[in-house]
Amino acid sequence: MRVVIMGCGRLGSTLARELDHEGHDVTVIDIDAAAFNWLEDDFRGATVVGAGEDVEVQEVAGVPRADIFLALANGDNRNAMAVQVAKHIHRASRVVARIYDPERAEVYRQLGINVVNPTTILDQMVREAAFATEEPDRQTR
Amino acid sequence: MYIIIVGGGKVGRGAARDLIDMGHEVCVVERDANTAWSINNELGEVALLGDGAEIHVQRAAGMNRADVVVACTGRDQANLAVAQTAQTRFNVAKVIARINDPRNERIFQALGFNYTISATTAIVNAIEQEVSAGLTRLTQLRSTAFVLAEHVIPSLAPCVGCTVRDLDLPPHTVLALILREDDEPEIPGPNSTIHAADVIIAVTQPEHEPALRLALTGES
């Protein structure tokens, strides 16, 4: 599948590498060219320097022809705008946005966007780790 | 009315100043402490320090009772976020968004935000208007397919001395106003006469502008 990822930080670069290894056609967008250092040398996908919410940058990155667009940059506003540009202007069939703020995540869900909210997921995991019945030490070792 | 302005830069602060003068209740949400302090210094305690795209800040600003929200930061992604949360989360009746990069006009329109202000586009249009002689696109009317066009009638134009009825106007075009030096503006009827140096304000569509130019100036 053709996948465009906006944001080449820890999450974006990890996903880009994995999807590339699995044989997908991956393009990564980041506003900072230095971010592409997160990718390994054997990464076969393409990289585009630019603001991922920019309608023309998305065009260069091939969003109009992509199967999946993932907005994984650091700002909620940026990610939200980017997936909506991909969806409403480039008619991307599947988009996912990372939104840190749980309340805003709810707003964008109402607007029909696939949202992943790390805060609620981590909240849950931290609770489980903290209140687990096994000896806490065994989990960290 | 209660008006919340997100972004206290030159635009937001100017709007706040005018709206307060008009007697409205105004809150300016500004994330830079120095800017917020300076706004309070000038306009009284109207500034709220915080990121106006954050829902908890919007709540603190009383967005649930706002009649109008103006999103006018220097970042379009923030303005879009403010506009969408104001509408979706707080049911604000009127949301006005500033667009900094004209290329972002498409997404705001696609998402149904018809009250947008694009300073860059306005300035570019004004420059075009000054640079190009003759018929000029002035303003797009809301998000319709119509524009306001302005034209000065050259002294040698074929239509000088003709009535409006005689003009070969393209479809979807109406002459709205004739401005004359040393005379009252006239709303033209079929029998109004066109004089040299008249300024004609017309409502038309972009694709009919060349035909309108030809009809009024004889130039293509």
CA–CA gap between residue B197 and residue A100 (Å, rounded): 60
Residue after which a domain boundary falls, among B119, B151, B177: B119
Closest-CA residue of chain A to B107: A85
- Enumerate the H helices of B90-132 as residue ranges: 105-110, 119-131
Instruction: Convert the pLDDT of each residue in A80-130 to its tens digit.
Output: 999 999 999 999 989 999 999 999 999 999 999 999 999 999 999 999 999
Instruction: Convert the pLDDT of each residue in B59-114 to its tens digit.
Output: 999 999 999 999 999 999 999 999 999 999 999 999 999 999 989 999 999 998 88
One-letter identity of residue A113:
I
Task: Tell me whether residues A111 and B88 touch, CB distance under 8 A.
Answer: yes
> Do the strands B2-6 and A114-116 form a parallel or antiparallel pair, or are they unpaired?
unpaired
| Residue range(s) defining the domain that contains residue B93 | 2-119
Above 80 in pLDDT, residue A27? yes
Above 90 in pLDDT, residue B128? no
Residue A125 token pair: 């995991």
> Do the strands B147-152 and B199-204 form a parallel or antiparallel pair, or are they unpaired?
antiparallel
Task: Tell me whether residues A81 and B110 touch, CB distance under 8 A.
Answer: no
B56 belongs to a structural domain? yes
Q: Which of A27-31, A56-60, B189-193 has the lowest mean pLDDT?
A: B189-193
Interface test with A, best of B84, B101, B109, B111 (most A CBs within 10 A): B84
Domains (ranges, CATH) in chain A? 2-140 (3.40.50.720)
Domain count, chain B: 2
Q: How many CB atoms lie within 10 A of CB B188?
A: 21
Shortest distance, CA B110 to any CA of chain A (angstroms): 7
Residues facing residue B4 across a β-bridge = B27, B69
- Enumerate the H helices of chain B as residue ranges: 10-21, 33-43, 55-60, 76-88, 105-110, 119-131, 209-217
Residue owning tokens 């935000």? B113
Its pTM surpasses 0.90: no
The shortest CB-CB distance from B103 to any of A55, A76, A103 is to: A55
Task: Tell me whether residues A85 and B107 touch, CB distance under 8 A.
Answer: yes
CA–CA gap between residue A22 and residue B202 (Å, rounded): 60
Q: What ipTM was assigned to the predicted interfaces of this complex? A: 0.85
Instruction: Convert the pLDDT of each residue in B141-152 to its tens digit.
Output: 777 788 888 888
Residue owning tokens 């990069």? B101
* CB-CB neighbors (< 8 A) of A76 in chain B: 53, 81
Above 70 in pLDDT, residue B135? no
Residue B183 is predicted with a pLDDT of 83
CA–CA gap between residue B116 and residue B106 (Å, rounded): 11
The shortest CB-CB distance from A78 to any of B54, B77, B88 is to: B77
Residue B96 and residue B149 share a domain: no
